[in-house]
Amino acid sequence: MKKYILFLSIFSSIVACAQTKKSTTTKENEKPKLVVGIVIDQMRYDYIYRFWNKFGNDGFKKLVNQGFFCKNTNFNYVPTYTGPGHASIYTGTTPSVHGIIANDWYDKKTAKNLYCAEDNKVTGVGTTAKEGKRSPANMLTTTITDELRISSNMKSKVIGIALKDRSAILPAGHTANAAYWFDGSIGSFISSTFYMNELPAYVQEFNKKELAKKYLSQSWNTLLPITEYTESVADDNKYEFVAKGETKPVFPHNLPNLYEKNGGLGMIRSTPFGNTLTKDFAMEIIKSENLGKENATDFLAISFSSPDYIGHLYGPNSVEQEDNYLRLDKDLAELIKFIETQVGQGNSLIFLTADHAAPEVPAYLMDLKIPAGYVNENKLEKDVKKYLAANYGDSLLLSYSNQQLFLNRQLIETKKLVLQQIQEDVANFVQKAENVSEVLTATTLNNTQFTEGARYLMQKGYHANRSGDVLVNYAPGYVDFPHYGTTHGSPYSYDTHVPLIFYGWNIKQGSTTEDINITDIAATLAMILNIQFPNGCTGKPIQSVVK
């Protein structure tokens, strides 16, 4: 009897060993069929919990409950804007390396403003508007989506979509099959000759449905009875934008009466129906492109732009933003269900994050007696010009944009002045201005290595060839913006702290409060997919996410 047990136990351990080996080998070669990246434009980490009790079970809650929630994920540079945000998520590095230093910036080479996704070498497809002249050419490194394409010998399909062009184009990378964004003047999704010469038939068919017009033909009312929006301030308050054709910023927003007066079909952007339209198009792409149905892993990069427009107009504490998130939750639920039905349960890997967060409306904080307020950048710029003219006989300032001062280096050289000295003088002058905190010169950033705090984040957002001569940071709570709605861009946690959730293929269930940088996402995806890191990647894989 003993012998028999011994034999059995040896036998079973051999079987177990063989099984382990077999499953390890299979697993090593396995990949998800489809990766879906979801970026929410302007989503704060705390929204997950603020709206938790009102979310359904199949949207945000499903991702959190069944996936892995990285609760302490932050952007690790400034400025926390949309263009740099999307580029950093997908390149796994910061503006100091990928070069997308802002949404648009003063271009030292051409002495003109350059938009981050602008490319005059290409033309629009499906549009004649200048918004068609777009590509990722200004982004200097590869994305995780590029690396997926290269690793699969171009067999993986990669497509990016969003209402905002930069949010579709930068995530999809340089080698994407397609990127589509929204042209509000015609109410259609468009692309550029960087990707194709003609819109695919299914995209043309989708555009013909005129969904933007259809969604704008109904009023935007609250999803729940308005008395239930207890997480938000009163609907009628002085911290919100009032649309043309309205007398108060209150529900219901009569969209059929409003949209002609407020930017035409483009107005869908600042309603939750912008998310619904994006979701509709994402589902159409998954279906028509047969994403996740071939051997190679496909990648769909989606960005929901509407929360950002709504945040800018109404602020984080508005009934409008709460309602937007409750509706987005429903759109997400539908999208997740659709993905899993199309490619099979467990075959897709979804991650959800945001390109930046946002502060409370400063005017609201001021009324709460919390230090906050408004910086007048126009005045600051004028003061710097006056100071330079008085001391050097010339204004010497070409631009003050994205909190960076660009000096006229050519004129400084002609006048045989010392650039470093002028940078220092300007920095000392700006430092004395009200509500300015850190001020750093380009020379300091080139010679010093900062390791923490706002100076570190400013350095990670500083690109030696593209950035200005003096970089300025304001005090916490201070922005240059109208006194309604909110904006973002600072190194403070209200702008940097965003949700990050992984869900699906090979992802553990759980959460972590460990310190995670936004640049870790691409590195984590590279490890999961067993492919090269993007070529400028500075992030590290999040160990705890994977099974």
CB closer to Zn ion, 157 vs 166: 166
Q: For residues 506 and 62, what is the distance between their CA atoms, to the nearest angstrom?
A: 16
List binders of Zn ion among 9-68 (CB under 5 A): 41
Shortest distance, position 100 Cβ to Zn ion, whole Å: 12
Closer Cβ to Zn ion, 318 or 353, answer by number: 353
Backbone phi and psi for residue 334, each to the nearest 5 degrees, phi listed first: -65, -40
Q: Work out whether 355 is an interface residue with Zn ion (CB under 5 A).
A: yes
For 179, residues 6+ apart whose C-beta sits below 8 A from its C-beta are 136, 159, 160, 161, 165, 168, 169, 172, 191, 192, 195
Q: Which stretch, 173-181, 280-288, 307-315, 339-347, contacts Zn ion (CB under 5 A)?
A: 307-315
Rg of the chain over Cα atoms, rounded to whole angstroms, equals 25
Residue 278: CB minimum distance to Zn ion, A: 14
- Closer to Zn ion by Cβ: residue 62 or 166: 166
Distance (Å, whole) CA 262 – CA 373: 28
Stretch that binds Zn ion, among 209-217, 305-313, 337-345, 529-537 (CB under 5 A): 305-313
Residue type, 178: A
Quote the least distance from Cβ 371 to Zn ion, whole Å: 25
Span 243-302, contacts to Zn ion by CB under 5 A: none
CA 137 – CA 173 distance, rounded (Å)? 9
Among 240, 280, 308, 438, binds Zn ion (CB under 5 A): 308
Q: Binding segment for Zn ion among 150-158, 264-272, 354-362, 369-377 (CB under 5 A)?
A: 354-362
- Phi, psi of 176, rounded to the nearest 5 degrees: -60, 150
Contact between 387 and 429 under an 8 Å Cβ cutoff? The reply is yes
Per-residue contact string for residues 196-225; x = within reach of Zn ion by CB under 5 A: ------------------------------
Residue 82 interacting with Zn ion (CB under 5 A) = yes
Angle made by CA atoms 222, 226, 227, in degrees to the nearest 5: 160
104 is a site residue for Zn ion (CB under 5 A)? no
Instruction: Specify whether the CB–CB gap between 461 and 402 falls below 8 A.
Output: no
Nearest by Cα to 509 from 472, 542, 547, 455? 547
Check if 414 is active-site: no
Part of the chain binding Zn ion (CB under 5 A), chosen from 124-132, 337-345, 353-361, 532-540 = 353-361
Q: Using CA atoms of 305, 311, 317, 323 in order, give the dihedral in degrees to the nearest 10.
A: -40
Of the candidates 192, 186, 209, 175, the one whose C-alpha atom is nearest the C-alpha of residue 283 is 209
Minimum CB separation of residue 130 from Zn ion in Å reads: 21
Residue 76 or 82 with smaller CB distance to Zn ion:
82
Considering only the stretches 329-337, 347-355, 408-416, 454-462, report the one whose residues sit in contact with Zn ion under the rule CB under 5 A.
347-355
Kindly tell me which of 82 and 278 has the beta carbon lying closer to Zn ion. Answer: 82
Q: How far is the CB of 254 from Zn ion (least distance, A)?
A: 27
Q: Residue 41 or 469: which CB sits closer to Zn ion?
A: 41
Query: Which range binds Zn ion by CB under 5 A, 64-72, 277-285, 304-312, 425-433?
Result: 304-312
Out of 24, 25, 80, 82, pick the active-site residue: 82
Determine the size of the site formed for Zn ion (CB under 5 A). Answer: 4
Question: Contact 175/146 with Cβ under 8 angstroms?
Answer: yes
Q: Which is nearer to Zn ion, 186 or 500 (CB)?
A: 500
Distance CA 427, CA 26 (A): 59
Q: In the bound complex, what is the minimum distance in angstroms from residue 80's beta carbon to Zn ion?
A: 8
Q: Which among 481, 457, 458, 546 has a CA at the least distance from the CA of 508?
A: 546
Least spacing, CB of residue 161 vs Zn ion, in Å = 15
187-206 in b/e burial notation, b at 16+ Cβ within 10 A?
bbbbbbbbbbeebeeebeeb
In the complex, residue closest to Zn ion by CB: 82
> Do the Cβ atoms of 326 and 51 come closer than 8 Å?
yes
Q: Which is nearer to Zn ion, 170 or 363 (CB)?
A: 170
- Cβ neighbours, 10 Å, residue 525: 27
Residue 358 Cβ vs Zn ion, minimum distance, rounded to whole Å: 9
Give me the active site residues, please: 82
* Contact footprint for Zn ion (CB under 5 A): 41, 82, 308, 355
